[in-house]
Amino acid sequence: MRIDDVVRHAVRPLRVYKLRSGLSLMGILIGVAAVITLTTLVRSASLSVSGRVENLGTNLVIVTMNPLVEASNMQDGLTLRQSRSLERLPGFALAAPVDYETTTAGHGETTAPVTVYGSSPRLTSVLQYHLALGRNWTAKDVSTQQRVVVLGSQTSRQLFGERNPIGRRIALNGASYRVVGVLAPKGAFFDINQDAVAIVPITTYQMQSGIHTVESVYLKTASPAANPNEIHRLEDRLNHDLGNANRYTVMTQSEMLTVTHKISTLLTRVLTGVAAISVLVGGIGMLNVLLMSVSERVREIGVRKTVGARRAEILAQFMLESVIVAMIGGMLGAALGIGASVLLTQRLHIALVLNPWIPAAGVVASMGVGALCGIYPAARAATLPPVEALRRP
């Protein structure tokens, strides 16, 4: 049998028995789509997180009060004075204390959901915000507990539309604040909207909230990357101020990168395993349909053998059918996986990082699964004695 005839005879049943072919490729399609979507999402998310962490600077160190300590004894956290004194530790360039909460901002009848940050003027530069309008409030505003606020671009738009908000007043937690500046848009990151923010002096924030400890402190070292000596000095000071190392967590950017990498590696392995299982299940489904197909076509096999088909030709035809079904399933799965990845990364506001080898590997792997699943049904078809095959109904 010529190669083109083998292909023609293998493809024809797929066209005629569309439902059966569709069912047999469905498992492979879903499996490959799952592999591509999951691996692409994990990779995209991981690289986005790493990129953000790196953008904030490898010299950033974040001290966070542990939640249990805060809940059990709120006054035992760092005071504003203590947090400021961290800036004077050798090797550190700046420290920005940060408290925050989610609330609603209002202007007249208009309201907008907002995350309010209480901090020092340095927070905007630490978090790499840029001013689009007006100015940042000053250290003097902090020391005199002024009710001034810098708004995120979305909050400004929601409260004031296209009007200039500088000099106007908004309500936060029942108090009136004067808008002095508006931040340039930064976009969303995962589900965190970075433009729905209001940054106020931490002294004003603490006066309003009645809590006089800080939840976290963002520090930057003078050197390009935090080194162990600087971290030890910081921890010594925190142990001294708080009396207990369990009350806080110090996280450097390199540690965050390592954690991100570890989580992403673990997630990739787990999800790839899950996806591989779904491909396998798809393969078993395909094997089932192929076996059914061979059973239904026993008479056809008998006829082919009667007119001169050899075992190898029957084997080749059924194997090729199986590989083609799996290949189509793999290709459709790859297309679906790419589409789903594009859609999901857009919804999660992360950059799509698609390794072109993954869809290609998905298609090749599905062809392998097709060949593997096709061996047994094809061998069964090939070894059927013609006289027995012709007796079947």
Question: Which one-letter DSSP state was computed for residue 392?
Answer: -
19 binds another protein (CB under 8 A): no
> Quick one: which of 118, 102, 103, 196 has its CA closest to 157?
196
Taking the least distance from each CB to another protein, the nearer of 306 and 346 is 306
Taking the least distance from each CB to another protein, the nearer of 13 and 330 is 13
9 binds another protein (CB under 8 A): yes
Q: Crossing angle, helix 311-348 and helix 18-55, to 10 degrees?
A: 40
2 binds another protein (CB under 8 A): yes
Question: Scanning residues 282 to 301, which ones bind another protein (CB under 8 A)?
Answer: 299-300
CA 307 from chain centre, in angstroms, equals: 58
18 binds another protein (CB under 8 A): no
235 binds another protein (CB under 8 A): no
380 binds another protein (CB under 8 A): no
- Between CA 379 and CA 384, with CA 382 as vertex, the angle to 5 degrees is 110
Task: Give min distance, CB of 312 to another protein, in A.
Answer: 8
Among 43, 107, 305, 380, binds another protein (CB under 8 A): 305
Q: Which of helix, strand or coil describes residue 95? A: strand
Task: Give min distance, CB of 383 to another protein, in A.
Answer: 9
306 binds another protein (CB under 8 A): yes
Q: Which H/E stretch holds residue 61?
A: strand 60-65
Q: Judged by CB under 8 A, which stretch of 83-91, 130-138, 207-215, 303-311 contacts another protein?
A: 303-311
Strands (E), 67-215: 78-79, 92-107, 110-119, 131-134, 148-151, 169-172, 175-183, 188-189, 192-193, 197-201, 213-214
Among 17, 100, 189, 376, binds another protein (CB under 8 A): 17
Taking the least distance from each CB to another protein, the nearer of 43 and 305 is 305
Q: Judged by CB under 8 A, which stretch of 38-46, 308-316, 349-357, 371-379 contacts another protein?
A: 308-316
Taking the least distance from each CB to another protein, the nearer of 284 and 387 is 387
What per-residue string of b and e applies to 341-363 under the rule 16 or more CB within 10 Å gives b? beebbeebebebbbeeebbebbb
Interface with another protein (CB under 8 A), residue total 26
Q: Crossing angle, helix 3-16 and helix 311-348, to 10 degrees?
A: 60
Among 20, 84, 233, 311, binds another protein (CB under 8 A): 311
Taking the least distance from each CB to another protein, the nearer of 1 and 342 is 1
308 binds another protein (CB under 8 A): yes
Locate 38 and state its tokens: 């999951």
Specify the pairing of strand 60-65 against strand 78-79. unpaired
Amino acid making up residue 132? A
Residues of the shown chain interacting with another protein in the complex, contacts defined by CB under 8 A: 1-2, 5, 9, 12-13, 16-17, 299-300, 302-313, 385-387, 390
